[in-house]
Amino acid sequence: MATRLPHFRRLDRREFACPADYMPLLALMPLLAITLAGCNRGPQRVTVPTFDPVQMTQEAFDKNDADHNGSLDARELSAWPGLRAAIPMIDVNKDSKIDQDELKAHLESYQIGRIGLQSLTCFVTVGGKPLDGAIVEFHPEEFMQERIKAAHATTNSDGAGFVLPIEKGLPGIQPGIYRVTISKKNGDREMLPKRYNAETELGFVVSSASGGAPAQFKLDPR
C-alpha cells in the first residue's frame, strides 16, 4: 500500500518580504549550526578570548589620545569607527566621549560574561533596498587584534547574511569592538562609496548587552 505524503503549502515570497519577519529564525540558525557541528565528529571547542582590560585600554589611549587628557572625543575617534559605534554603550556619563575608566569597564564586561562566540546576522540595504552579494567584514579594532579574530558574511537577495569567522571555525563572531567594511563589486569596480569600505566609517560592537540583535547597515548610494 502506497504511503501518502504530507501536503506542504507553497509559500509566496511576499510573505517574507521584510527582514523583520524572519529575524528570529535567522538569529537562531547559527546557533543550530554550532549545535550540529559536532554531531558526527564530536563537539568543537569554543575558547573564550583572553582580555587584559588595563593593557588594552592603555594601548587604545596611547595611539589616539592626542591631547593626553584621558578621554577620546569625536575628533580622536574619527579613525576608530568601532569605538565610535560603541559610544552609546560605553559612554556612561553621557558626555559624548570615552574616558579610560569607561573603556576599561566595558572590556572587563567581556571577562565577566565569558562568552566565546555569539551568533550574528547582518542586514544591508542601499537606499532602503536589500543589497545582494555584498561582502561584509568585521575587523577587530587595533587594540583587540591580538585577542579576537575577524569575521565576514555574504548577503543574499534579501540583504541578509550569517556571520562566520574568516578563518575556519564554528559559525559566529567573538565578542569585541569591530570596524566594518562593506564591498559590492561589478567586476573590478567597487559599487559602494569609500566611506563603507576603503575609508570605512562603519563599526559594530558584539557583546552580551546587544542581546543577539542583528547588525543592520543602512547605506546611502551617494
> Number of folded domains in the chain?
2
Q: What is the pLDDT of residue 40?
A: 42
Per-residue pLDDT of the chain (222 residues; tens, 9 = 90+): 444 444 434 434 333 334 444 444 444 444 433 333 333 444 567 888 889 999 999 999 999 899 999 999 989 999 899 999 999 999 999 999 999 999 999 999 998 888 889 999 999 999 999 999 999 999 999 999 889 999 999 999 999 999 999 987 788 999 999 999 999 999 999 999 999 999 999 999 998 887 678 999 999 998
What are the two backbone dihedrals, phi and then psi, of residue 219, each rounded to the nearest 5 degrees? Answer: -95, 150
The residue range of the domain holding 100 is 53-113
Considering the domain architecture, whether residues 163 and 87 belong to the same structural domain is answered as no
Considering the domain architecture, whether residues 83 and 121 belong to the same structural domain is answered as no
* 57 vs 85: CA distance, rounded Å: 17
Q: What is the pLDDT of residue 36?
A: 33
Give the pTM: 0.79
Residue 53 has what DSSP assignment?
H
Chain-centre distance for alpha carbon 77: 19
Considering the domain architecture, whether residues 93 and 108 belong to the same structural domain is answered as yes
Q: What is the pLDDT of residue 43?
A: 56
Q: What angle do CA 168, 26, 19 make, to 5 degrees?
A: 130
In a domain, 19, yes or no: no
Residue 147 has what DSSP assignment?
T
* 171 vs 26: CA distance, rounded Å: 13
* 32 vs 108: CA distance, rounded Å: 29
Chain-centre distance for alpha carbon 51: 18
What are the two backbone dihedrals, phi and then psi, of residue 107, each rounded to the nearest 5 degrees? Answer: -65, -35
Considering the domain architecture, whether residues 85 and 138 belong to the same structural domain is answered as no
- Which residue, 113, 131, 161, sits at the end of a domain? 113
Q: What is the pLDDT of residue 37?
A: 37
- C-alpha cell recorded at residue 44: 568543537
Q: What is the pLDDT of residue 222?
A: 86
Q: What is the pLDDT of residue 44?
A: 66
Considering the domain architecture, whether residues 127 and 76 belong to the same structural domain is answered as no
